[in-house]
């Protein structure tokens, strides 16, 4: 959360000439409701199942840039599919940067649990080993703008020709 996945993903897709998919937006479109409402109504396990299925469909459908939700790595099936099918970039942001970027954002269900800093620390501890398991590269975004992050990604990716969106 707040690492820049959506912003960087859009910029990267544009520079690669590929389609961009924000997985949370895709889930909301398919479910005809918000991620927060899915969490509230059906719970996190139901959301994660929907996330896993939507991610699999996107990975199968086309060559694109996908901004997953931060918790997509929690599902072992999703981790396997990401490792098999994608160049995964872990965008890391420290808690202070996350808090700055998410200030005033009330749309994040996991941050509605109380102390935002404590929640972000706990999520990082839980997810960091899972990101290491699937990511081919990790970039600290604390002090970088989106263009600088994209430059680093492009410098590390194998050269590919742009694909039609």
Binding residues for substrate: 24, 48, 70, 127
| Helices 23-31 and 35-42: angle between axes, nearest 10 degrees | 60
Output the known binding site for Mg(2+). 6
Token readout for 95 is 């808690």
Length of the chain: 165
Output the known binding site. 2-7, 24, 48, 70, 108, 127
The whole-angstrom separation of Cα 32 and Cα 60 is 22
Look at strands 137-140 and 89-92 and give their pairing: parallel
């Amino acid at each position: 959360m707040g690492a820049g996945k959506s912003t960087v993903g859009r910029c990267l897709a544009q520079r690669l000439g590929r389609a961009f998919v924000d997985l949370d937006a895709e889930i909301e479109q398919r479910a005809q409701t918000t991620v927060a409402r899915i969490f509230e109504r059906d719970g996190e396990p139901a959301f994660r199942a929907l996330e896993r299925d939507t991610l699999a469909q996107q990975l199968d459908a086309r060559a694109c840039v996908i901004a997953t939700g931060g918790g997509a790595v929690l599902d072992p099936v999703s981790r396997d599919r990401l490792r098999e099918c994608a160049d995964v970039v872990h965008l890391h942001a420290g808690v202070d940067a996350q808090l700055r970027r998410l200030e005033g954002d009330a749309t994040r269900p996991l941050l509605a649990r109380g102390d935002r800093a404590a929640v972000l620390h706990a999520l990082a501890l839980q997810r960091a080993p899972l990101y290491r398991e699937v990511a081919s590269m990790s970039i600290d975004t604390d002090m970088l703008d989106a263009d600088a992050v994209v430059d680093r990604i492009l410098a590390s990716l194998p050269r590919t020709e742009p694909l039609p969106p």
